[in-house]
Amino acid sequence: MTLFRRPASPSFRAEEVSAASLTSRRTLLQMACACCVALAAPRALADAMTPEVERHLAAARQAAGSDLEALLVLGQSADPAFQAPTPDLEKLMALPAPPPGKAFDNLYFVGGKWVSAWALATSDGIILFDAMNNEDDAEHTIERGLKAVGLDPSKVKTIIVTHGHGDHYGGADYFTRKYGSRVVASALDWTMMETKLEFDHPLWGRPPKRDIAVTDGDKVRLGDTAVDIVITPGHTMGTISPIFDVRSGSQQHRVLLWGGTAFNFGHQPERLQAYVDATARTREVAKQQGVDVFISNHSFYDGSVEKLGAVAAGGANPFVLGASTVERALTVMNECAQATLASWKA
Ligand SMILES: [Zn+2]
């Protein structure tokens, strides 16, 4: 697998990492990750930025405000001197899982500290978004978490694998073997999982066998629930970013789960351009559909672990960001990608 190396003495810019909400995620950011994580806390960018790069980074910072700072780590790669840090996957995978919890009446977090798994309860069973690293995670984090929140793991009918990296598919086989769950992925990522894995690790489970292939615009249905499949190429070329409804009492909200965040595919301008296009397009889709909740499959991007505690405590649901904040989140990712692309062209 590709390893990333960290500069010997990275300098941090205090104003970029000052949010108190990031503190508990600092460990994760410092350890970084191979597959899906954007690699260490923001650091000062080299002085030699072109005006175009600077303009995009300024736009990203402006969009991020103080509440979306976690996404600014993506902008680091616009610094030509930036070298992504060496991941410590074993350490990340060994982090104790946070307690599972309810984000909405029909959406539950059943993931780990590093990589998330979400369970969407329907009238005819459960749609699981991602299956974590391996069968051990599937059994001890996801299955145990489902039971803890009062859901029946044997009702996991569908697993939507957001993209073909092992930290998202590794536990899928556990559910297919034990409960006959069906596995959904994009056609492109099925092919990648069958032919040439972009990343692999001895601790990751093997890819599931090709099952249901979906493409952009498809709907995955279970009982009373439909999940819209939006393909957002970049992180992998077939990344799925699903959109679906959730309930909170009498309120209904619409969720976008961004399926692949980091630019960890090396110097591939056409792929980064695909990411730019995907974030811009999804921003329009989200606006049209009134998406007011934005979540991730890695909790340090969306603060989901911290937010679960606030939901349990009652009061306003911090997962409900509002449409304009969802738009800002997509703008941060888009501008960081544009900044990186501009630095590659410089
Ligand atoms: Zn990934």
Q: Which residues contact 255 (CB under 8 A, 6 or more apart)?
A: 104, 107, 243, 244, 245, 246, 291, 293, 294, 295
Token pair belonging to 232: 């957002």
Q: CB of 261 within 8 A of CB of 253?
A: no
Q: CB of 326 within 8 A of CB of 256?
A: yes
3-class DSSP string for the chain: CCCCCCCCCCCECHHHCCCHHHHCCHHHHHHCCCCCCCCCCCECCCCCCCHHHHHHHHHHHHHHCCCCHHHHHHHHHHCCCCCCCCCCHHHHHHCCCCCCEEEECCEEECCCCCCCCEEEEECCEEEEECCCCCHHHHHHHHHHHHHHCCCCHHHEEEEECCCCCHHHHCCHHHHHHHHCCEEEEEHHHHHHHHHCCCCCCCCCCCCCCCCEEECCCCEEEECCEEEECCECCCCCCCCECCEEEEEECCEEEEEEEECCCCCCCCCCHHHHHHHHHHHHHHHHHHHHHCCCEEEECCHHHHCHHHHHHHHHCCCCCCCECCHHHHHHHHHHHHHHHHHHHHHHHC
Does the pLDDT at position 219 exceed 80? yes
Token pair belonging to 316: 């306003």
Q: CB of 241 within 8 A of CB of 185?
A: no
* Per-residue pLDDT, 82: 85
pTM above 0.85, yes or no: yes
Token pair belonging to 302: 């969306």
Q: Report how far ligand 1's centroid is from the alpha carbon of 273 (Å).
A: 17
Q: Report how far ligand 1's centroid is from the alpha carbon of 312 (Å).
A: 29
Q: Which of 24-38, 135-149, 161-175, 179-193 has the lowest mean pLDDT?
A: 24-38
Q: Report how far ligand 1's centroid is from the alpha carbon of 188 (Å).
A: 14
Q: In whole angstroms, what is the distance from residue 300 CA to residue 113 CA?
A: 8
Q: Report how far ligand 1's centroid is from the alpha carbon of 315 (Å).
A: 34
Backbone angles phi, psi at 282, to 5 degrees: -65, -30
Q: Which of 26-35, 154-163, 168-177, 224-233 has the lowest mean pLDDT?
A: 26-35
Residue 3, domain member (yes or no): no
Residue 80, domain member (yes or no): no
Q: What is the average per-residue pLDDT within 94-115?
A: 97
Query: Whose CA is closest to 207, among 216, 215, 198?
Result: 198
Give the CATH number, domain containing residue 188.
Answer: 3.60.15.10
Q: CB of 39 within 8 A of CB of 95?
A: no
Q: Report how far ligand 1's centroid is from the alpha carbon of 313 (Å).
A: 32
Cα–Cα–Cα angle for 183, 108, 306, rounded to 5 degrees: 125
Q: What is the average per-residue pLDDT within 157-184?
A: 98
Total structural domains within the chain: 1
Does the pLDDT at position 177 exceed 70? yes
Q: Report how far ligand 1's centroid is from the alpha carbon of 102 (Å).
A: 25
Q: Report how far ligand 1's centroid is from the alpha carbon of 47 (Å).
A: 30
Token pair belonging to 285: 């889709």
pLDDT band at 49 (very low <50, low <70, confident <90, very high): confident
Q: Report the chain's mean pLDDT, rounded to a whole number.
A: 88
Q: Report how far ligand 1's centroid is from the alpha carbon of 67 (Å).
A: 23
pLDDT band at 81 (very low <50, low <70, confident <90, very high): confident
Does the pLDDT at position 40 exceed 70? no
Q: CB of 164 within 8 A of CB of 191?
A: no
* Per-residue pLDDT, 43: 46
Residue 40, domain member (yes or no): no
Does the pLDDT at position 127 exceed 50? yes
* Per-residue pLDDT, 26: 45
Residue 159, domain member (yes or no): yes
Q: Report how far ligand 1's centroid is from the alpha carbon of 196 (Å).
A: 14
Residue 121, domain member (yes or no): yes
Q: Report how far ligand 1's centroid is from the alpha carbon of 205 (Å).
A: 14
Domain range for 200 is: 89-345
pLDDT band at 45 (very low <50, low <70, confident <90, very high): low
Residue 276, domain member (yes or no): yes
* Per-residue pLDDT, 46: 53
Q: Report how far ligand 1's centroid is from the alpha carbon of 259 (Å).
A: 8
Does the pLDDT at position 30 exceed 50? no
Residue 45, domain member (yes or no): no
Q: Report how far ligand 1's centroid is from the alpha carbon of 162 (Å).
A: 9
Q: Report how far ligand 1's centroid is from the alpha carbon of 236 (Å).
A: 7
Q: Report how far ligand 1's centroid is from the alpha carbon of 51 (Å).
A: 31
* Per-residue pLDDT, 47: 57
Residue 35, domain member (yes or no): no
Query: Whose CA is closest to 226, among 189, 184, 259?
Result: 184
Q: What is the average per-residue pLDDT within 332-336?
A: 98
Does the pLDDT at position 29 exceed 90? no
Does the pLDDT at position 27 exceed 80? no
Token pair belonging to 180: 């006959």
